[in-house]
Homo-oligomer: A and B are copies of this chain.
Amino acid sequence: MQFKRKKIPSVNELAEAIFAGNKTLLARGITLIESRRTADHTLAQELIERCLPKINKSIRIGITGVPGVGKSTFIERLGKLITGMGKKVAVLAVDPSSSVTRGSILGDKTRMLELSKDPDAFIRPSPTGESLGGVARKTRESVILCEAAGYEVILIETVGVGQSETAVHSMVDFFLLLKLAGAGDELQGIKRGIMEMADGILINKADGDNLKRAQRARAEFERALQLYPPKASGWLPKVSTCSALNNEGITELWGMIEEFIANNRDSGFFETLRREQNTNWFLQTVDERLKSSFYQHPDVKKELTKLIKKVGNNQISPFKAADLLLSSFKQN
């Protein structure tokens, strides 16, 4: 018996297949983006450059909420609603913790069984990576591939570890906070900064015994949102309830998003925000590449290990050590 080696497609073959909507090769393209092999980086950049002219037609939605809030069920329902309208939906994730837990979030498509079988849906778990920066960059690049493959709505999920909401917020058009109605003060324990970022808040599990609590929570969030200054776009964030389990309130939520997008397109803020995001992305890319070209330099690597030891032992000051390291780089 003979095993055939899987043929490695060229960047051109990948690009053409992605444009044609081939899910398997879209996944291969994203794997290329996520690869840590230096040789793959150039290929990944080529692929992205090929895809870039095809982007900017989708709506990008960020979704955050703590574990247990029902994100998977909600995303499955929302995804099905979107494909039901004849649109293609892609689900991506930014979860820096998945590098430890090996992709518990979105790791298995069984979490979204129905959606994963839908020909118009594409689900991809969070890239694994040591840093939020790396994970976020890879997701942002994967968005481009998905858009080039014709996905019209991109859902980007995060569990909100560390600064991951900020990262997701910086790459989406609409940012949704998913909440549960709790026993008491709904605002307690809410991460600072999240309220300011949210374009909409959705209280899930508004069903059965929980319905009244959810309605109270909605009123409380509505009051709290009034305390924040209006968004630059003029949009006033809205609060809505749903039962993802019973498939209730999903259409209303989609209506909120459509209203937001229409508003922002009219005011020109949709394009302004994307332009700002692009500029920030550019500056972040410059920072990252500058650092990586520095720290991957063989002389720097060698010197760095020695200097860290010396600094730790108080044999040299942090400044002097920095001077030495930078001058060893400049000489080469």
Contact = CB atoms under 8 A, between A and B. Distances in A.
B322 A285 contact: yes
Contacts of A7: none
Contacts of A322: 282, 285-286, 289
Contacts of A279: 308, 311-312, 318
A325 interface: yes
A244 B116 CA distance: 61
A28 interface: no
Chain A interface residue bracket vs B: 35 or more
A262 interface: no
Specify the main secondary structure of chain A where it touches its partner: helix
A326 interface: yes
Contacts of A293: 326
A20 interface: no
Contacts of A57: none
Interface string A255-297: 0000000000000000000011011011101110111011000
- Copies of this chain in its oligomeric complex: 2
A275 B286 CA distance: 31
A317 interface: yes
A115 B22 CA distance: 72
Contacts of A192: 191-192
Given A187-B188, A191-B192, A279-B311, A317 B286 contact: no
A308 to B, nearest CB: 6
Nearest to A284: B318
Nearest to A280: B318
Interface string A307-332: 11001111001111111011000000
A104 interface: no
A45 interface: yes
Given A188-B188, A290-B291, A285 B48 contact: no
A332 B320 CA distance: 25
Given A187-B188, A294-B290, A319-B45, A56 B282 contact: no
B285 A49 contact: no
Contacts of A319: 45, 48-49, 285
